[in-house]
Amino acid sequence: MIEQATAPVAFALNEALKGLSPSYVDIVNESMSHAGYFDGKESHFKLTIVSADFTNKRLVARHQMIYQAAAPLLTAQGGSIHALAIHAFSPDEWQHQDIPSPNCTGKNV
């Protein structure tokens, strides 16, 4: 469970995604693996999400749905999320995969 007090951006992202009726959501703050990190920074996330809303939707459509839900939290809209690695599955596709995020051009540990 994501706590608002300790991870306000991750909490807000989780809340924003509820409109997609996910059956599974995993939000991992990967900011510490990127340049400019400081304790408590929430700017780079890995999102794994499973939703029946993704059934028969192409990957780009799934990403668009997520970006629309998360728009106020993205830096382009004045938010603090700079990078969001998205792994979106329908329930039939979901196998509890652990998918690595892509390398950042700034810094990866």
The burial of 30, by beta-carbon neighbours within 10 Å (0-12 exposed, 13-18 middle, 19 or more buried), is given as buried
Domains along the sequence of the chain with CATH: 8-89 (3.30.300.90)
| pLDDT tens across the length of the chain (109 residues) | 676 767 899 999 999 999 999 999 999 998 877 666 657 678 889 999 999 999 999 999 999 999 999 999 998 888 889 889 999 999 999 986 667 666 665 554 4
Of the candidates 30, 28, 31, 62, the one whose C-alpha atom is nearest the C-alpha of residue 47 is: 28
Give pLDDT, residue 95: 80
Instruction: Please provide the size of the chain in residues.
Output: 109
Give pLDDT, residue 78: 86
Give pLDDT, residue 7: 86
Give pLDDT, residue 5: 64
Residue for token digits 């997520």? 66
Give pLDDT, residue 46: 94
